[in-house]
Amino acid sequence: MTRKGLTAPRKLVLDIINDSHDHPTAADIIDRLKADGRSVAYATVYNSLRFLTDEGLIRELKLQGDASRYDARTEDHHHIVCTSCGRVDEVMTETPAEWLKRIEVETGYDITEEQFLFKGVCAECKTSRPNK
């Protein structure tokens, strides 16, 4: 991608995603732009997200619920979502090659990309929940 395609609004959106560790939604990005005193139209934010995703500068995550989340880390990795608070974290553990091979044999597919979503309760929610 040429830097020519990275307009000022797209750069603002990219900077917010790069500076975020919580995999923000489009609404989160709009709120952060407003909090920074930036006035960017909703359509511009959504179009910027599509452009940045298409160019491979960010990843769109469809984890749970209706809203996509966005990730600045574009290398292969997985995610885990807290079922209590909704927090999203990265899982950098590599998928076992023998597992992928077994899936290919079972399905007849050649796997070109993988994306797993794990769910559980994060450490913070575990410690804040009363013992049962």
22-41 pLDDT tens trace:
899 999 999 999 999 998 89
Say whether both 30 and 62 belong to one domain: yes
- For residue 74, the model assigns a pLDDT of 87
CA 90, distance to chain mean position in Å, is: 9
**131 has a pLDDT exceeding 70:** no
Nearest-5° Cα angle at 79, 99 to 120: 95
Say whether both 96 and 51 belong to one domain: no
Say whether both 56 and 120 belong to one domain: no
* Short-list 42, 130, 126, CA closest to 84: 126
63-110 pLDDT tens trace:
877 789 999 998 888 999 999 988 899 999 989 999 999 999 999 999
Domain that holds residue 123: 76-132
Q: How far is CA 30 from CA 43, 47, 73, 82, 83, in A?
A: 10, 13, 20, 23, 25
Nearest-5° Cα angle at 66, 117 to 5: 90
